[in-house]
Amino acid sequence: MKKLKVLLIGILAIIVILFFTSRHMRTAQGHTSGNTLTIYNWGDYIDPELIGKFEDQTGYKVSYETFDSNEAMFTKIKQGGTSYDLTIPSEYMIQKMMKEDMLHKLDYSKIKGIEAIDPRFMDLDFDPDNQYSIPYFWGTLGIVYNDKQFSEDDIQHWDDLWKPELHDSLMLIDGAREVIGLALNSNGQSLNSTDKDELLAASKKLSTLTDNVKAIVADEIKMYMINEEASVAVTFSGEAAEMVDSNEHLHYVIPSEGSNLWFDNIVIPKTAKNIDGAYDFINFMLEPENAAQNAEYIGYATPNKEAMAIMPEEITSDEQFYPSDETVNNLEVYEDLGLEYLGIYNDLFLEFKMHRN
């Protein structure tokens, strides 16, 4: 009996030693819950040097994960598991997360530098008074073309994508709202349409585009276009900016009949554990020099007017990526269409992809 008691005490002592050793090691590596900030962002959507700078300035250790669609981000946060302190969804998804009570209401007494944001990007319909979100980047959806194969006059409108000369040349971004939306716009309709006849007409028109489609991909579009493995692509303005910067033969066009105007904003999910760290990161990214560095690295348009003031004029005056108010006024922001129509858009897009195969 005495031997058993000694054995149990020994096992208990080992467990205690292992617990404190593990805790000490995690602390030494900066992984305590108090100083770790967990960020969930789009892929390639922040200058990595800024994360290091933030860690150096604040002492936080950043745990950084990425997603490739608003829907994937929503599902992962909804399911729980990882406690993300910050994420950066697009406007229609922010609406959806607000409706489902997934976001912390912002405490503006903890936010410094919000006056740097251009008023044009505040108080928008998807989040009146910016109660839940802080602007991060904004941009458009458009067409990139290579001038070795096509002239400026060849590629200006969505309908140009259907030209026979584009046979097996077109890359499409892998997004249901984007692809169904461009077909709706090409028919003169809203990319937020919930008219089933309009959606079926868009789907029918898309089925005639398949011979021109070389691939439907995500971030890989940049590599294909820069390496001239495709001559035309439908993509987002920031992706296009990197392509244009890397290959002088590439150009970006926003179709005059309309397209998507999008906004990505920083939000704090209710799953957040490090609220103070989340505010510190928001304040860090609002600082004009940090916002400017990020915009120059990523290529998307910054909503931070003080950052724009210190950025090179050749960037901020480029209307491909900082379009005029006249162009912007002709664009549409995605609306949260609800579960039923999200399913319809996804089903039509899936049919298009299957038909293509």
Burial of 34 (0-12, 13-18, 19+ CB in 10 A): exposed
Q: Say if residue 27's pLDDT is above 50.
A: no
242 and 299 share one domain: no
* Residue 250 backbone phi and psi in degrees, to 5: -100, 145
Percent of the chain residues topping a pLDDT of 90 = 80
CATH number for position 254 = 3.40.190.10
- 155 and 133 both lie in a single domain: no
pLDDT band, very low/low/confident/very high, at 81 (cuts 50, 70, 90): confident
Say if residue 215 is in the same domain as residue 290. no
Is residue 356 pLDDT above 80, yes or no? no
Q: Are residues 130 and 222 in the same domain?
A: no
Q: What is the pLDDT of residue 256?
A: 93
Confidence of residue 130 (pLDDT cuts 50, 70, 90): very high
Where residue 13 falls among pLDDT bands split at 50, 70, 90? low
Domain count, the chain: 2
Per DSSP, which regions of the chain are E strands?
A: 36-42, 61-67, 86-87, 134-146, 170-173, 213-217, 232-236, 250-253, 261-266
Among candidate residues 155, 95, 81, the one with its CA nearest the CA of residue 128: 95
Q: Do 11 and 107 belong together in one domain?
A: yes
Which residues, listed in sequence order, are joined to residue 42 by a DSSP beta bridge?
67
Q: How confident is the model at residue 299 (pLDDT cuts 50, 70, 90)?
A: confident
Confidence of residue 31 (pLDDT cuts 50, 70, 90): very low
Average pLDDT value over all residues in the chain: 90
Domain interval for residue 284: 1-138+263-317
Verify that 134 and 145 share a domain, yes or no. no
> Residue 140 contacts by C-beta under 8 Å, 6 or more apart in sequence?
236, 237, 254, 259, 260, 261, 262, 323, 331
Do 17 and 43 lie in one domain? The reply is yes
Are 252 and 273 in the same domain?
no
Query: Could you read off the pLDDT of 177-220 as tens digits, one per residue?
Result: 999 999 999 999 999 999 999 999 999 999 999 999 999 998 88
What is this structure's pTM? 0.80
CA distance 96 to 74: 9
Residue 74 and residue 222 share a domain: no
Give the largest CA-CA distance in the chain: 93
**Rg of the chain in Å (alpha carbons):** 24
One domain, residues 92 and 119: yes
163-173 pLDDT tens trace? 999 999 999 99
